[in-house]
């Protein structure tokens, strides 16, 4: 059964704080898809989740667009960005299956581009821009 919760934030700080709240409810093993257009706030929300798990200060969390994977807390959390990848084979080449098998939280940006590479059991967080700083954020647990 799916559950869905919706929130609206009106600043980057509020989005980070919502990420902290989401982190408090995450199990130690979870796949979390961060879904939204460029600039929707995916990395900003990730800053809050990483911070909420006590793994890094929000200022230390950056987008993994060019490095593809950032690791926090000695493997307790992986922040992965698939934006620059074109095929499921490239996703597999990251060691994605191995990362998913670990007792870790995996924050995945642009994962919806490769549905065949993802398990059905996951949390999807959809971010929609409502204005300059306003975001609608829907958390869907599958």
Q: What is the pTM of this model?
A: 0.95
Q: How many domains does the chain have?
A: 1
User: pLDDT band for position 16 (50/70/90)?
Assistant: very high
Contact 118, 33 (CB under 8 A): yes
| Percent of all residues in the chain with a pLDDT value above 90, rounded to a whole number | 94
What domain range is 45 assigned to?
A: 3-141
Give exposure, 105-133, as e/b (b: 16+ Cβ within 10 Å). Answer: bbbbbbbeebeebbeeebbbbbbbeeeee
Is the model's pLDDT at 61 over the cut of 70?
yes
Distance of CA 114 to the CA centre of its chain: 15
* pLDDT (0 to 100) of residue 6: 97
CATH of the domain at 57: 3.40.50.300
Instruction: Dihedral sign for Cα 106, 108, 112, 118, please.
Output: negative
As a whole number, mean pLDDT of residues 50-64 equals 96
Structure confidence at residue 71 (pLDDT): 97
Q: What is the pLDDT of residues 66-111, one digit of tens each?
A: 999 999 999 999 999 999 999 999 999 999 999 999 999 999 999 9
pLDDT value for 1: 56
| pLDDT interval class at 142 (50, 70, 90) | confident
More confident residue, 26 or 1: 26
């Amino acid at each position: 059964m799916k559950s869905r919760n919706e929130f609206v934030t009106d600043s980057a700080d509020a989005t980070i704080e919502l990420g902290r709240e989401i982190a408090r409810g995450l199990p130690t093993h979870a796949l979390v898809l961060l879904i939204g257009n460029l600039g929707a706030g995916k990395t900003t929300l990730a800053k809050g989740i990483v911070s909420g798990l006590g793994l890094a200060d929000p200022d230390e969390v950056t987008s993994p667009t060019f490095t593809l994977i950032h690791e926090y807390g000695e493997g307790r959390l992986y922040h992965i960005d698939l934006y620059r990848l074109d095929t499921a084979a490239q996703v597999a080449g990251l060691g994605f299956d191995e990362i998913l098998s670990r007792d870790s939280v995996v924050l995945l940006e642009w994962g919806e581009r490769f549905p065949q590479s993802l398990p059905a059991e996951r949390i999807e967080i959809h971010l929609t821009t409502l204005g300059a700083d306003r975001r609608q954020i829907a958390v869907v647990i599958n």
